[in-house]
Amino acid sequence: MTTLYSFGIGIGTKNSNGQWLEVFYPSPILRPSQDLSSIITSEFGDNNEDIEPTKAQLDALESALAATGYDDFAELIRSLKTTNHNVVAVVLLQDSAPTSVPQAYLKLHLLSHRLVKPHHTNISGIFGVLKNIAWTNIGPIDLNELPERLLAARKTGDVIQVDCVDKFPKMVDYIVPSGIRIADTSRVRLGAYVGEGTTVMHEGFINFNAGTEGPNMIEGRVSAGVFCGAGSDIGGGASIMGTLSGGGKEIISLGKKCLLGANAGVGISLGNDCVIEAGLYITSGTVVTLLDDQKVATGTCKAKALSGQSNLLFRRNSINGAVQCLTNKTAIELNDELHSSN
């Protein structure tokens, strides 16, 4: 029997040429049970493909779901049957790279719904699949059609506000995960994994296929591909080098209870309980002086040799400017009240 990797059914937007711009999936499913997979594939087949279901297919799917106890899912199908907008179902037999806009949006929804963590679903080539879109107060608009739409709105006394031009929308227009705070919602993209108890302040940023285990304080930048362990604090103006910001294919992660001081940065992975002092940027090629417990220099190495190790404190010598590394004896603690999910 076939067991699917993922399934999503939702409502999307097309341009005037019938090309998909985006899709909203209210309840994406990761690895549905064998029974549910059988119901889905009996109506839509078992290939990686996008289907624009007919009313008859939706009727049959709703009946099959209701008859087997999937009442919530059946209610979703019943709701989608009442819309005049574009409905699409995506069946993914395996975790392959997305080849269409509906498939790409399903993968991004899986991440932001916390169904998969960054790097645990294949989104290879997603930039080439997604279209650059004008995200406006009346919804997404194809860039080629924007001038005409702007003029048409003005002629009726209306104004279209263009919030941004991007391939990725902001996450909260699609999903608001439980127990989080985001001061400026435009700074968290769809496809971000934002763990319970995470606070993203006004200048904080979380890219797609990146995120936080939660709870975390994010006042700096969590670049694409980066994942931060529970209790880690990214200070104001701090930056973590990701796969799209000079890190190449190197996957950067922070362990639990790490601290990046204000305006600091890191281009290597950190284990648990690590600190980088304010204003210090550590790249893989940074030459680091190693200090023992008596703070005596014992040698030097490039920072990449320390990647992934725990209980490290990186600082800059205020006299000679040398970057030093010693054992971190002070673990950070986040404010429990500030990061409560209530």
CA distances from 119 to 124, 211, 300 (A): 10, 11, 32
- Asked if residue 108 lies in contact with residue 28, where contact means CB atoms within 8 angstroms, the answer is no
> In which region does residue 237 sit, left (phi positive, over 0), alpha (psi from -120 to 50) or beta (all else)?
left
Task: Please give the full DSSP string across 140-176, using - where no structure is assigned.
Answer: EEEGGGHHHHHHHHHHTT----EEEEESS-BGGGT--
Q: Which of 56, 58, 36, 55 is nearest to 46 (CA)?
A: 36
**Residues labelled as active-site residues:** 219
- Asked if residue 28 lies in contact with residue 121, where contact means CB atoms within 8 angstroms, the answer is no
- Asked if residue 278 lies in contact with residue 263, where contact means CB atoms within 8 angstroms, the answer is yes
Name beta bridge partners: 222: 206, 240
